[in-house]
């Protein structure tokens, strides 16, 4: 069972916490992580790209020249794909890239990423994260006290306006909730900062 230190907002160790083996101590499944990541990115695509076919471009109602006797290749329309300003053959059209993956596969991918954070010692646990007011400087001070460098993801058990608004203007820092966590964010951000309440809720959701 993985055991990690618990810090306060001043960066001082206050206790230890035992994490559930089945969530924070499994062997990361890289294949599942890849599959879920590709699915997430595909579902983010808008699919609004579009080109005009020969039936959609302007002009081309009249045959350019007669079929025979000119010595030139026969042509039916100046809006055929081989003509300048002609239609596009086999071009992209609006479509949906969305597809689904198994719910258990998604959960396994998240648990694999959480376990990877523990293995990499990039999981930081706070006893609590309560700010007196909405102030970016206060959140910067907390992160500095915790000595987290690089891109940092702060995961909260539920909405906390003071924390979320205090962190939103810090470059490389993002806040998220347990019920909206995804593999893309867990991979993108080097550090994961959670509270004891977050750990408890993760263990409730993914146990």
Give tens-digit pLDDT for 111-151: 999 999 999 999 999 999 989 999 999 999 999 999 988 89
Place of tokens 């101590």: 25
Q: Does the structure show a pLDDT above 90 at 8? A: yes
> What does the pLDDT read at residue 160?
93
> What does the pLDDT read at residue 2?
85
Average pLDDT, integer, range 156-175: 94
> What does the pLDDT read at residue 61?
86
Sign of the torsion angle spanned by Cα atoms 107, 158, 37, 23: negative
Sign of the torsion angle spanned by Cα atoms 126, 120, 152, 158: negative
Which of 182, 186, 199 is CA-nearest to residue 151? Answer: 186
Structure tokens at 52: 């005009």
CA atoms within 13 A on the CB side of 198: 28
In sequence order, what are the residues at sequence separation of 6 or more whose Cβ sits closer than 8 angstroms to the Cβ of residue 109? 29, 32, 33, 35, 36, 37, 183
What percentage of residues in the chain have a pLDDT greater than 70?
100
pTM of the model: 0.83
Contact call for residues 24 and 118 (beta carbons, < 8 A): yes
Q: In angstroms, what is the C-alpha Rg of the chain?
A: 27
CATH of range 3-45+99-206; options 3.40.1370.10, 3.40.50.300, 2.60.120.380, 3.40.640.10: 3.40.1370.10
- Provide the residue ranges of all domains of the chain, joining segments of one domain with +: 3-45+99-206, 47-96
Average pLDDT, integer, range 22-45: 96
Q: Does the structure show a pLDDT above 90 at 207? A: no
Q: Does the structure show a pLDDT above 90 at 65? A: yes
């Amino acid at each position: 069972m993985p055991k990690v230190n618990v810090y306060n907002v001043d960066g001082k160790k206050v206790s230890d916490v035992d994490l559930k083996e089945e969530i924070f101590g499994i062997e990361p499944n890289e294949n599942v992580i890849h599959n879920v990541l590709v699915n997430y990115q595909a579902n983010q695509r808008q699919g609004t790209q579009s080109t005009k076919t020969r039936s959609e471009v302007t002009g081309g109602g009249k045959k350019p020249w007669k079929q025979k006797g000119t010595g030139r290749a026969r042509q039916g329309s100046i809006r055929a794909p081989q003509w300048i300003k002609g239609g596009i053959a086999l071009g992209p059209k609006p479509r949906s890239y969305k597809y689904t993956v198994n719910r258990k596969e998604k959960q396994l991918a998240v648990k694999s990423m959480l376990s990877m954070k523990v293995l990499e010692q990039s999981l930081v646990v706070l006893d609590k994260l309560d700010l007196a007011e909405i102030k970016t400087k206060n959140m910067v001070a907390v992160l500095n006290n915790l000595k987290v460098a690089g891109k940092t993801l702060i995961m909260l058990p539920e909405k906390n306006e003071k924390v979320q608004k205090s962190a939103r203007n810090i470059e490389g820092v993002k806040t998220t909730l347990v019920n909206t966590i995804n593999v893309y964010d867990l991979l993108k951000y080097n550090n994961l900062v959670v509270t004891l309440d977050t750990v408890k809720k993760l263990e409730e959701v993914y146990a």
